[in-house]
Chains A and B, each alone.
Chain A
Amino acid sequence: QLVQSGVQVKKPGESLKISCEASGYRFTNYWIGWVRQMPGKGLEWIGIIYPGDSDTRYSPPFQGQVTLSVDKSISTAYLQCSSLKASDTAMYYCARQAYDTSRDAFDIWGQGTMLIVSS
């Protein structure tokens, strides 16, 4: 399973780091992806990271705006944002991407982390 950190309330200009702790499988063998869902809107693919070697791929709108990282020692992935804006207010999900069992679909999802950016 994937367990994410809790609700985050930040002010504009602040930074954020959301965590996603994996358990029940070999963390370094599967990509971890991040998905944004703004209030009342659809799913947006942010990017993926391979914990084995920290290889990352970003969607162009998020390139340079977020940083994905992992700590293999504690099977945890992170999404980091700086210079937050009110428009960053959204639910952020992490998810496991599995090629062997689901052809690179996101087969396990975290519960989501709600980020609220408000002055």
Chain B
Amino acid sequence: DIQMTQSPSSLSASVGDRVTITCRASQSIGSFLNWYQQKAGKAPKLLIYGASNLKGGVPSRFSGSGSGTDFTLTISSLQPEDFATYYCQQSSSTPHTFGQGTNLEIK
């Protein structure tokens, strides 16, 4: 199975900050990397698929990059509604494993 490792596990930031979360795969997954946002008590929501494709309706302050084994999710200017937990997931081969999550908190 492909292991997905996110860093950091938690992050404190302020409104307006630029934030980057990284995700590393244990083997090459091409660009089959997805990012989800989960708020407390809610189902996850797809933000980015295929490493860099923004899902329709997702604000443009979110962006993704990377290929192979190393990927990043960037939020260019944090808004109050962005404080949540973020997960990466590989969809290259089953099982489509998730990273352990990054909890983004208000500083």
Contacts and interface: CB of A to CB of B under 8 A. Distances in A.
Interface residues of A, number: 25
Main SS of the interface on chain B?
Answer: loop
Interface stretch (A10-18, A71-79, A80-88, A107-115): A107-115
A26 interface: no
Given A44-B98, A45-B96, A57-B95, A109 B32 contact: no
Contact of B91 (A44, A59, A105): A105
A106 B44 contact: yes
Contacts, number: 73
Interface string A36-63: 0000001111011000000001111000
29 contacts: A35-B44, A35-B98, A42-B100, A42-B101, A43-B36, A43-B98, A44-B98, A45-B95, A47-B95, A59-B94, A59-B97, A93-B44, A95-B44, A103-B31, A103-B32, A103-B34, A103-B50, A103-B91, A104-B91, A104-B96, A105-B49, A105-B50, A105-B91, A107-B49, A107-B55, A109-B44, A109-B45, A111-B43, A112-B43
Interface of B: 1, 31-32, 34, 36, 38, 43-46, 49-50, 53, 55, 87, 89, 91, 94-101
